[in-house]
Amino acid sequence: MSYDAFCSQLLARVEHRRVGDPLQADVEVGPIVNQSQFDEIVAAIQKGKDEGGTVIASGTTSTRTRT
């Protein structure tokens, strides 16, 4: 499998992940729980980009708010 084909398949899977309340059975990705965790994730993404990586999924934060 080529790199491009792998990225396409990975992106297709990531885009269909359900994000939300982790207590709901159909949710696959729960929330980032605090600012420290968020900062670590953003730093890891930035490090990857600085080292030549490319973000293939969204690359933005959710606009959803806590309910």
Report yes or no on 62 lying in a domain: no
Q: Could you tell me the two tokens for 39?
A: 């900062």
Report yes or no on 36 lying in a domain: yes
Please state, in angstroms and rounded to a whole number, the distance separating the CA atoms of residues 3 and 35. Answer: 33
What is the count of structural domains for the chain?
Answer: 1
Report yes or no on 38 lying in a domain: yes
Report yes or no on 26 lying in a domain: yes
Report the pLDDT averaged over residues 12-18.
87
Report yes or no on 55 lying in a domain: no
Contacts of 57 (CB under 8 A, 6+ apart): 11, 14, 15
Please state, in angstroms and rounded to a whole number, the distance separating the CA atoms of residues 48 and 13. Answer: 21
Query: Is pTM beyond 0.75 here?
Result: no
Report yes or no on 15 lying in a domain: yes
Neighbour count for residue 11 (Cβ, 10 Å): 13
| Contact between residue 7 and residue 56 where contact means Cβ atoms under 8 Å apart | yes
Query: For position 48, what pLDDT does the model report?
Result: 94
Report yes or no on 13 lying in a domain: yes
Query: For position 29, what pLDDT does the model report?
Result: 87
Report yes or no on 40 lying in a domain: yes
pLDDT digits (tens, 9 = 90+) for 38-58: 999 999 999 999 999 999 887
* Residues of the domain holding 22: 3-50
